[in-house]
Structure 1
Amino acid sequence: MENYYVFIMMCILLILLPGPDTAIAIKNTISIGKTGGLQTMLGTCCALLIHTSAAVLGLSAIIVKSAILFSIFKYVGAVYLIYLGIKTLWGLRNKEVAVTDERKDEDKYGSKSCFKQGFLTNLLNPKVAVFFLTFLPQFVNPGQDTFLPFLLMGATYTGLTALWFIFYIYLLNQISAFMKRPRTQKVFEGITGIVLIGFGMKLALEKAQH
């Protein structure tokens, strides 16, 4: 494996770029709290580990090279993001209705839902598979077996993602007094809903890379 430290620096820069995973983590941290954000992060990291395994086993290459499979993942992922965006915006209409019951439901079911949202948002994004197959090979010596290098790089990327999300979630939690204000929540959740729909539409229009 070549230039591992360069790989780490590139990963950090890529992770800092906001995407659907970040939008979901922000939404769940603001609406549910630190637990919701951390559960979202766990879901995202589990999906990244699956993408890593797929890259190691060569499954990602099949998805990327197959126009049909790529399109299936792309449109399912796009529909899911748009669904989450619409659900977030629709939830703003009933934000002030039955607040106590809603909080109880969030405490009971919120963590499970947050994990699922983080997991599916990342897993159903074919651009992640494209990333693993186009980015990781650049740091492997020509002719070298890719099993261990891909495994190491995938684990590194997942670990760095987890660290960034933990920092970000705890930062949001520290300013929770401001973030928990009803007006602030409405603004941020409204923005997040629009952003998720935008990411979904962008993903739907994404062309397969062969």
Structure 2
Amino acid sequence: MNNYVNFLFLTVVLVIIPGPDYILITKNTLEFGKLAGFKTIFGTCTALMCHTLFSIIGLSALLVKSAILFSIVKYIGAGYLIYLGMKSLLTKQDSTQQQEKATKTNFYSQGLVTNLFNPKIAVFFLTFLPQFVDASTGTWWHFGVLGITYISITFIIFGLYTLLLSRVRHFFEKNSTQTLINKSAGIILLFFGLKLMLSE
């Protein structure tokens, strides 16, 4: 029981640490509203479910052991973050085209791809979760429970953050403010993309 409580505490701390997900959720919620933020979160959680499954069936271990496969996944993920960053930097803010932009933007895919093609998440699942697995209860079953718990906490924290952003969104509706948010988000996404690309 104490082991599980420690897992819950560490998971909350880890999920709170800012990363690309927070940038995407912040940008999408402030620009397009609460629904866009939650679609991004659903994409993120779907990717985490995939990583949990990959860890259980051994695909994540294969990814970590293969330098070529690891690099391919890493460069796809980094390239996508850089693409989103450049898109955010170059997009001109126009409130009259807001609805059209929202229709064309696949927020779910943004959350899904940025996490699915981040091999560091696979490494994280392989190194973090096993520390709390009780072999006496069935290793893979317990691993799955921990993975679902991690995903649930992620959804709750990101969801609360999105609801908070939606409450203050009206303060950021000016075109000039939205432009500043887009430029800032673009720069940070570029940073995360380059950081992932240069990581080992």
- Pairwise CA RMSD: 1.5
Deviates most, 22-31 or 6-15: 22-31
Of 69, 90, 108, which aligns to 1:115? 108
Unaligned runs of 5+ in 2: none
1:163 & 1:142 partners in 2: Cα distance?
A: 28
How many residue pairs are counted as aligned between the two chains?
A: 200
Partner of 1:128: 121
Of 143, 148, 156, which aligns to 1:155? 148
**Superposition deviation, residue 181 in structure 1:** 2.3
Residues 29 and 169 in structure 1, CA contact (< 8 A), matched pair in contact too:
yes
1:116-150 per-residue CA deviation (whole Å, 9 max, x = no partner) reads 10110110111100000000111123576421111
Unaligned runs of 5+ in 1: none
Partner of 2:21: 21
Partner of 1:4: 4
**Superposition deviation, residue 108 in structure 1:** 2.8
Deviates most, 79-88 or 26-35: 26-35
Partner of 2:42: 42
Secondary structure, in 3 states, of the residue corresponding to 1:8?
helix
Residues 172 and 179 in structure 1, CA contact (< 8 A), matched pair in contact too:
no
Of 183, 186, 198, which aligns to 2:191? 198
TM-score (norm: length of structure 2): 0.95
1:143 & 1:104 partners in 2: Cα distance?
A: 54
Is 1:103–2:101 an aligned residue pair?
Answer: no
Residue type at the aligned position of 1:170: L
Mapping for residues 66-85 of structure 1, pairs under 5 Å? 66-85=66-85
Identity in percent: 45
Deviates most, 176-185 or 24-33: 176-185
1:107 & 1:27 partners in 2: Cα distance?
A: 12
Partner of 2:87: 87
1:80 & 1:107 partners in 2: Cα distance?
A: 19
Partner of 1:62: 62
Partner of 1:168: 161
TM-score (norm: length of structure 1): 0.90
Residues 134 and 142 in structure 2, CA contact (< 8 A), matched pair in contact too:
no
Deviates most, 82-91 or 20-29: 20-29
1:155 & 1:184 partners in 2: Cα distance?
A: 37
Of 164, 171, 174, which aligns to 1:181? 174
Partner of 1:51: 51
